[in-house]
Amino acid sequence: MRIKFIIQSKKNPAPIYVRILGANRLDVKARTNWSINPKDWSKSKGTLKNLTKTPFKELESNLRDFKNDLINEINSLDSIDELNTKWVKNFINPSTQNSSTQDVLPKDLIGYLDYYLGVRGEEIKPSTQRKFNVVRGKLVKMEKEFGGTLFIKDVNSNFKVKMVKWYKKEGYAENTIFTAILTIKTLCKHAEISGIKVHKQLKLFTYKKEYIKKIYLNLEELELIENLDFSSNEKLDDARDWLIISCFSGQRVSDFMRFTPQMVSRNGGFISLNFEQEKTLKKMSIALHWKVEDILDKRNGEFPPTMQDHTYNVRIKKVCKEAGLTEIIEGSKDVLVGKRTSSSGNECGKYRKVKGKYPKYELITSHIGRRSFATNFYGKISIARLMAATGHSTEAMFLTYIGKTNQEMAREMSQEPAFKRPEESVENLKAV
């Protein structure tokens, strides 16, 4: 049996066909999902002419993988009589059907992503839906650049190389690439469960997450921020108060910006804040820290006026700059890349996360409050109670928010009584 690739058109692009020839007049042909400029194809050899250029190398690798997979599938047939044009077409674009609806499932990444979001429906959190739709937008752009439909069965090591190269060319951060690859792998695993053929290299479709040092505001820095006098700048005063509220409530900006006096409950000396988290839909009841209570007293029982996330992010950077948080530290922030001036005279371009060393105030975003709360109270309040306040489901998820380094936590551990010499403990008791 011989398997070869052919083209039958002189037009550019010309579809590439696979042809299977064998005994008993076996002659089966079907169109693949690839195409080529006829001038770059050798009809006599049945392959590309120039294998030194990267695009041709990738296409040749795809054709080689396709041929190997095809041979394996043919070898698994019970009878060669099963091998016909319909079988080959189904191998190229599997027609898996849903047993209840008999609807053909999409085999391309974008089509299946839409299907996935549709069938999962309300099971998927809005934030997860946004993540999938962001990846969808990138897939649309990649299809245009790669010149063809991206299929689930082609998600392999070679596709990962192309995808990573494209993301880096567009200036995306390492962790953005990590999230995209994880999202596509999740999609493919779901497709596999649905009966769609995936590539045997799917298990290798991974990417290493880059460690970015967690930034948080310690209690000393928060005191500096609290003591700032913004009596002449109402907008910064509002932003500062929201920042303090976030750092002592541990909530996301999507939640604390919705706080109202009606959510505050008083039962004797106990004051709680009751609300539903927007992201997780969890019913929350958290103790109101006295710092938050002081802000409410200052504002006659009202929370500060709400503001858009972008406005809040800009203003808290100014607040932290006023507090003197100018130490140069490592972190990542949105930077305008491919900067140009529009016809209206404004700077425009694409914002990308760029890792580097910046003044601390430039790294402050709305998420700083949630992380500061988790970090500042870690070791002082039980993890179970902290998790109840932040709404994290697992301890592992909670610990990702901790901004303290291992060295800092080790130093704190060294001050615990269990790590002190017996004589040191006695001296401490005498001192007391």
Query: Are 263 and 372 in the same domain?
Result: yes
The residue written with tokens 């002659």 in the block is 27
Whether 344 maps to a domain, the answer reads no
Work out the mean pLDDT of the chain and round it to a whole number: 86
Dist CA 239 CA 374 (whole Å):
20
| 406 band by pLDDT with thresholds 50, 70 and 90 | low
Give the model's pLDDT for residue 332: 86
Whether 164 maps to a domain, the answer reads yes
Query: Are 427 and 379 in the same domain?
Result: no
Residue 207 has pLDDT above 90, yes or no: yes
Domain boundary among 43, 67, 92: 92
324 or 354, which is more confident? 324
Domain boundary among 59, 92, 125: 92
Query: Are 30 and 51 in the same domain?
Result: yes
Average pLDDT estimate for 178-188: 96
How many structural domains are present in the chain?
4
| 425 band by pLDDT with thresholds 50, 70 and 90 | low
Query: Are 320 and 235 in the same domain?
Result: yes
Query: Are 198 and 261 in the same domain?
Result: no
Domain boundary among 64, 92, 120: 92
The residue among 27, 40, 29, 133 whose CA lies nearest residue 80 is 27
104 neighbors 196 (Cβ within 8 angstroms): no
Determine which of 18-32, 214-228, 325-339, 406-420 has the lowest per-residue pLDDT on average.
406-420
Q: What percent of the chain has pLDDT over 70?
A: 91
Query: Are 177 and 246 in the same domain?
Result: no
Give the model's pLDDT for residue 98: 42
Query: Are 194 and 226 in the same domain?
Result: no
Dist CA 338 CA 327 (whole Å):
28
Non-local (6+) Cβ contacts of 172 within 8 A are 352, 353
Q: Which amino acid is at 394?
A: T
Average pLDDT estimate for 367-391: 89
Average pLDDT estimate for 91-104: 58
| 403 band by pLDDT with thresholds 50, 70 and 90 | low
Query: Are 379 and 265 in the same domain?
Result: yes
Residue 343 has pLDDT above 80, yes or no: no
Query: Are 6 and 73 in the same domain?
Result: yes
Whether 421 maps to a domain, the answer reads yes
Nearest-Å Rg of the Cα atoms of the chain is: 29
What are the E-state strand segments in 311-380? 328-341, 347-359
Task: Pull the structure tokens for residue 272.
Answer: 């709680």
Give the model's pLDDT for residue 341: 65
**pLDDT (tens digit per residue) in 37-79:** 889 888 888 888 877 777 788 888 888 888 888 888 888 777 7
Dist CA 431 CA 424 (whole Å):
10
Residue 261 has pLDDT above 90, yes or no: yes
Whether 62 maps to a domain, the answer reads yes
What is the three-state SS of 13-52?
CEEEEEEEEECCCEEEEEEEEEEECHHHEECCCCEECCCC
Average pLDDT estimate for 285-300: 94
Dist CA 265 CA 248 (whole Å):
17
CATH assignment at residue 270: 1.10.443.10
b/e per residue, 303-323, with b = 16+ CB within 10 A?
A: bbeebeeeebbebbbbbbebb
Query: Are 124 and 45 in the same domain?
Result: no
Whether 98 maps to a domain, the answer reads no
Query: Are 240 and 164 in the same domain?
Result: no
CATH assignment at residue 126: 1.10.150
Q: What percent of the chain has pLDDT over 90?
A: 48
Give the three-state DSSP class for 70: helix
Whether 124 maps to a domain, the answer reads yes
The residue among 79, 132, 112 whose CA lies nearest residue 197 is 112
Could you tell me the residue range of the domain that residue 123 belongs to?
109-204
Whether 266 maps to a domain, the answer reads yes
Whether 182 maps to a domain, the answer reads yes
Dmax over CA atoms of the chain, in Å, equals 100
Give the model's pLDDT for residue 97: 43
Query: Are 30 and 131 in the same domain?
Result: no
Query: Cα 181 to chain center, whole Å?
Result: 9
